Amino acid sequence: MNYYSLNKKAPNTTFADAVVRSLAPDKGLYFPESIIPLESSFFETIESKSNTEIAFEAIKQFILPEIPEEELKQIIEETLSFDFPVVEINENISTLELFHGPTMAFKDVGARFMARCLGYFNTSNTNDVTVLVATSGDTGGAVANGFLKVKGVNVVILYPSGKVSDIQEKQLTTLGKNITALEVNGVFDDCQDMVKRAFLDEELTSKMQLTSANSINVARWLPQLFYYMFAYKQLKSKYKDIAFSVPSGNFGNVCAGMVAQKLGLPVKHFIASNNANDTVVNYMNTQSYTPKASVQTISNAMDVGNPSNFIRIQELHHNDFERLKSNLSSYSYTDDETKEALLELYNEYSYVADPHGAVGYLGAKDYLKNNKAHVVFLETAHPTKFLDIVEDTIRENIDLPPQIEAVMDKKKKAISISDYEELKNFLLS
């Protein structure tokens, strides 16, 4: 499959090249040339297929033949070595738990898949690739873990000092080896701006192959479409109309769900649930897209003021606002509302959610006020990753899972930087 740039001023290119570059030379995001629906029999018999079979059938058109069948199957098998259970909250709402991977974040799937693709392309190319990534919280740990010890790939992670949780910080600063953490004196948008600037810096890019592991990268973005298929597989016999409420920051996850829908997955509607960072909510209300500086919230992995993937969502809907509006609703919630939702889930349903999942739950409830469907909210992180907030809110102690326990005693290693020049000096040194 070839990919085109959404800025339409760069040549179309292969999957391999799109993965290595992340952004097209004209700074546009890559988008697949076509999305061909799967046979309806695929969805009719989905319950009888394994997750790895579903994933292979769903993604192969985007990747073959550049990664051959057998190798792609292997990559999928390694990527999906954990569960994706749906838990029913009540008769109208379920949650799809995406936190059973090694760093307990849904980003594990995209990061592991992308790392293995880059590793595959790198066996025939001895030049080192540097993965440069900005994180508002969860990307860092998932990327660090997914890329650890991948041959020929160095990873440099920028995170905003004091704005990620302790556990998140540990996950991205304690691995060492080919992973370096840079602690930025600023907010997530500062980190993201520095990364963007590095990609545009010809002095830098002439000396090193830089790529990104944010959801702008097609190999991080596309495998997220699996989740929606796994949820459908589990719920299909019970509910006819299924909608998804997706806690959204950069909008990569919800956008991948829309690709699954293009592939033929029956999805009634998408709900992008947001914290106070409401750029898309405003767009859906006014048709005017006005990026803003991000504001800090308790669901910090969604503190994004200018979501990169929204342009892909528009492309998927042929840049037709009415069409988009009939498929997507978007709501925004305050931190207080999020805490109330955490408490409600705990008191009424004995379910311990994390703040991101709680925002998804609120979106599901709002959608159900005027619509009929079974709404699945995506639980994108394990509650212990936001331990203080969750414990303070539900007034219970929760046990640390072994994946988290393992990093808590390790020593943080990070390099502090304040501006772009310091990043550049580091990369060139």
Ligand X SMILES: *Cc1c(COP(=O)(O)O)cnc(C)c1O
Q: Which residues bind ligand X (CB under 6 A)?
A: 105, 107, 137-138, 215, 247-253, 301-302, 356, 380-381
Which residues are CB-contacts of 324 (< 8 A; sequence separation ≥ 6)? 284, 313, 314, 317
Residue where the block lists tokens 């890559």: 30
Distance of closest approach, residue 302 Cβ to ligand X, in angstroms: 5
Give the nearer residue to ligand X in terms of CB position, either 108 or 190: 108
d(CA 192, CA 214): 10
- Work out how close the CB of 152 gets to ligand X at its nearest, in angstroms, rounded to a whole number: 26
> Which residue bears the tokens 């993201």?
192
**Residue 253 CB, nearest distance to ligand X (Å)?**
4
Task: Tell the smallest beta-carbon distance from residue 245 to ligand X (Å).
Answer: 12
CB of 142: closest distance to ligand X in angstroms?
8
Instruction: Kindly tell me which of 161 and 306 has the beta carbon lying closer to ligand X.
Output: 306
- Quote the least distance from Cβ 278 to ligand X, whole Å: 14
Q: Which of 218, 240, 175 has its CA nearest to residue 17?
A: 218
Nearer to ligand X, 32 or 247 (CB): 247
Q: Which is nearer to ligand X, 262 or 424 (CB)?
A: 262
Shortest Cβ 252–ligand X spacing (Å): 3
Alpha-carbon span 43 to 58, nearest angstrom? 11
DSSP 389-404: HHHHHHT---PPPHHH
Closer of 13 and 94 to ligand X (Cβ):
94
| CA count, 13 A, side-chain hemisphere, 373 | 23
Q: Are 34 and 7 in contact (CB under 8 A)?
A: no
Nearer to ligand X, 105 or 132 (CB): 105
The residues with which 165 forms a beta bridge, in sequence order, are none
Closer to ligand X by Cβ: residue 312 or 356 = 356
Q: Nearest approach, Cβ of 382 to ligand X (angstroms)?
A: 9
Strand order in the sheet with 30-32: 13-14, 2-5, 30-32
* The two three-digit tokens of residue 343, written as one number: 């408490």
Helix (H) or strand (E) holding 331: strand 328-332
Residue 203: CB minimum distance to ligand X, A:
30
Nearer to ligand X, 103 or 180 (CB): 103
Cα-based distances in Å from 175 to 61, 135, 275, 366:
34, 16, 30, 41
CB nearer to ligand X: pick between 32 and 101:
101
Q: Cβ-count burial of 218 within 10 angstroms (0-12 exposed, 13-18 middle, 19+ buried)? A: buried
Q: What is the CA radius of gyration of the chain?
A: 20
Is residue 326 within 8 A of residue 344, CB to CB? The reply is: no
Q: Residue 247, preceding bond cis, omega within 30 degrees?
A: no
CA–CA distance, 378 with 234 (Å, rounded to integer): 14
